């Protein structure tokens, strides 16, 4: 049974890589998971929980992720929701805080939604996928696939399911929609 949807909004592909990594970790934990582009999701029927990921571009959450929140806002009021964003070029505290502020701004557009988990993961700059003048930016990949996280701090894509998943499921169990067995 598929009980968790991981939807993502990506422009150059790094967000889907993280969504798929989270999906694999959740499958390894025994959950049924679908990973889909946020723009392609028409309904949330049959899901017991949703994880939404989106890249941050020019201070804004990817339009497909933002549109997903608005389009499915009524259904998401009834489901546990976790949100992650990709964005900072480094995981320095100031960069992460700036990205979190951008994500919080996007979430403020749907005040009726209260995610049970929110995470910021490092972003990727691949100049070969960019247009002028951005293609002159230095290449970087701030995703740290192996970093252990401090409790409550997600620095690795795997820290969302590994560190926060139990808490997320406990919150879901206490609310409207249990996602754990």
Distance from C-alpha of 23 to C-alpha of 35, rounded to nearest angstrom? 7
* Burial readout 30-39 (b: 16 or more C-beta within 10 A, e: otherwise): ebebebbbbb
Mean pLDDT of 70-88: 90
22 falls in which pLDDT band (50, 70, 90)? confident
Start-to-end CA span in the chain (Å): 12
Q: What is the mean pLDDT of the chain?
A: 75
Phi and psi at 41, nearest 5°, equal -80, 120
Phi and psi at 86, nearest 5°, equal -110, 135
Distance from C-alpha of 136 to C-alpha of 158, rounded to nearest angstrom? 30
146 falls in which pLDDT band (50, 70, 90)? low
pLDDT on residue 178: 41
Reported as a single tens digit per residue, the pLDDT across 90-141 is: 677 887 888 889 999 999 999 999 998 888 887 665 546 655 665 555 566 6
pLDDT on residue 179: 45
Q: How many CB atoms lie within 10 A of CB 41?
A: 19
- Using only C-alpha atoms, the chain has a radius of gyration, in whole angstroms, of 16
Reported as a single tens digit per residue, the pLDDT across 149-159 is: 333 334 334 34
pTM (two decimals)? 0.75
Q: How many CB atoms lie within 10 A of CB 114?
A: 13
pLDDT on residue 152: 38
Phi and psi at 13, nearest 5°, equal 105, -15
Instruction: Quickly name the fold that domain 4-174 has.
Output: Rossmann fold (3.40.50)
CA 141 to chain centre: 17
Domain ranges of the chain: 4-174
């Amino acid at each position: 049974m598929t009980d968790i949807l991981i939807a993502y909004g990506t422009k150059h592909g790094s967000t889907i890589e993280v969504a798929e990594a989270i999906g694999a970790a959740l499958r390894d934990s025994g959950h049924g998971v679908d990973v889909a582009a946020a723009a392609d999701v028409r309904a949330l029927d049959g899901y017991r929980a949703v994880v939404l990921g989106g890249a941050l571009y020019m201070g804004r959450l990817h339009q497909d992720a933002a549109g997903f929140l608005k389009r499915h806002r009524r259904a998401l009021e009834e489901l546990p929701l976790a949100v992650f964003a990709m964005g900072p070029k480094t995981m320095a505290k100031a960069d992460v805080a700036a990205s979190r502020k951008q994500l919080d701004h996007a979430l403020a557009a749907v005040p009726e939604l209260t995610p049970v988990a929110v995470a910021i993961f490092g972003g990727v700059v691949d100049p070969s996928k960019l247009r002028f003048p951005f293609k002159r930016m230095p290449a970087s990949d701030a995703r740290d696939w192996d970093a252990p996280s401090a409790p409550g701090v997600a620095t690795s894509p795997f820290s969302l399911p590994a560190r926060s998943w139990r808490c997320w499921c406990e919150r879901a169990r206490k609310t409207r929609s249990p996602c754990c067995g």
